[in-house]
Amino acid sequence: MNSFRIGIGHDTHRLGPGGPLRIGGIDVPFDRQALGHSDADVLLHALTDALLGAAALGDIGEMFPDTAPENRGRDSGEMLQLACQRVREFGHHIVNVDAIIFAERPKLNEYKPYMVQRIAELLQVEPPQVNVKAKTGEGVDAVGTMAAISAQCVVLLFRPEANSMG
């Protein structure tokens, strides 16, 4: 019997002055940056949570607490790779990733292929297994007023089960 598992991840970070904006493992030129304990890559944080959730391994805050000094300014790509390694240790394989970035600005269309490539590299999967979409906040709430940036991800994992009958 084989096992499929779905995980969902969400993250939001406040935006502040400065730049560039680190998102999806790349730097996007912008006059604002996400604020957080690590490098505040909202997309990679949501993806890390989705991976850990799909494998029932907790969440990013448990694995990388913001109270730990070693996580200050930490590269979110490194955190994603460590979470992915842990998921694989439990026998799971990544089938696909589907992600949405919620940002009023900057417009992210031209950067999405670079994010897909970087995420595929970090997860050691093929780029067609990764999809990234971008949506605005339509001028509503924290995203729409550019006070925050958010991301959501869904991950599908597959784990082949050993045949207990022999």
78 in a domain, yes or no? yes
Question: Does 106 sit behind a cis peptide bond, omega within 30 degrees of 0 on the bond before it?
Answer: yes
pLDDT bracket for residue 25 (50, 70, 90): very high
Residues 132-148 pLDDT 10s: 999 999 999 999 999 99
DSSP string, 1-58: -EEEEEEEEEEEEEEEES--EEETTEEE--SEEE-SSS---HHHHHHHHHHHHHTT--
* Element (DSSP H or E) covering residue 86: helix 76-89
Which range marks the domain in which residue 133 is found? 2-160
For residue 90 the two structure tokens come to 């439990």
pLDDT for 164 equals 45
pLDDT for 71 equals 81
Across the chain, mean pLDDT equals 94
Average pLDDT estimate for 7-30: 97
**Tally of domains in the chain:** 1
65 in a domain, yes or no? yes
Taking a C-beta distance cutoff of 8 angstroms, is the pair 141, 15 a contact? no
pLDDT for 94 equals 98
pTM: 0.93
166 in a domain, yes or no? no
Share of the chain above pLDDT 70, in %: 96
CATH number of the domain bearing residue 121: 3.30.1330.50
Residues 42-93 pLDDT 10s: 999 999 999 999 999 999 999 998 888 888 888 999 999 999 999 999 999 9
pLDDT for 162 equals 53
165 in a domain, yes or no? no
Q: Is 67 helix (H, G, I), strand (E, B) or coil?
A: coil
Taking a C-beta distance cutoff of 8 angstroms, is the pair 7, 154 a contact? yes
pLDDT for 55 equals 96
